[in-house]
Amino acid sequence: MSMVGFKEDLLASLKGCEFELSNFKNGDFGDLQRVEVQGFNKLGTVEFWSLGWVGIDLVDCVSGTQEMSLLLSPDQRDLVGGELRRFAALMTGAKI
């Protein structure tokens, strides 16, 4: 899944959250498209790298607990969709 797929498939399931999109050139894994998601006392980031890596992090701001911290390699692309759905569910408190 890419940033486009994330916007099309998951943004609607993150109602009640605020988003900040940013882009960075020439990072560790190529160019970076990053979305920061904030809501429900949680802060998350999803990073899409041009070389195929995907990073997902989610922190509960009340307890300080890190609920997700993943860096998926290009070989793990088949896991990205499921992990992003899990991210959305944990972010909003919805059932997975």
**Mean pLDDT rounded to a whole number for the chain:** 92
Which residue type sits at 29? F
pLDDT band, very low/low/confident/very high, at 96 (cuts 50, 70, 90): low
Mean pLDDT computed over 65-75: 98
pLDDT for residue 5 = 78
Instruction: Write out pLDDT tens, residues 8-47.
Output: 778 788 989 999 999 999 988 999 999 999 999 999 999 9
Rounded Cα distance between 57 and 76, Å, is 16
Rounded Cα distance between 20 and 24, Å, is 13
Q: What are the residue boundaries of the structural domains of the chain, listed by start?
A: 3-92
The pTM for the full model equals 0.90
- For 10-93, where are the alpha helices, taking DSSP H only? 77-92
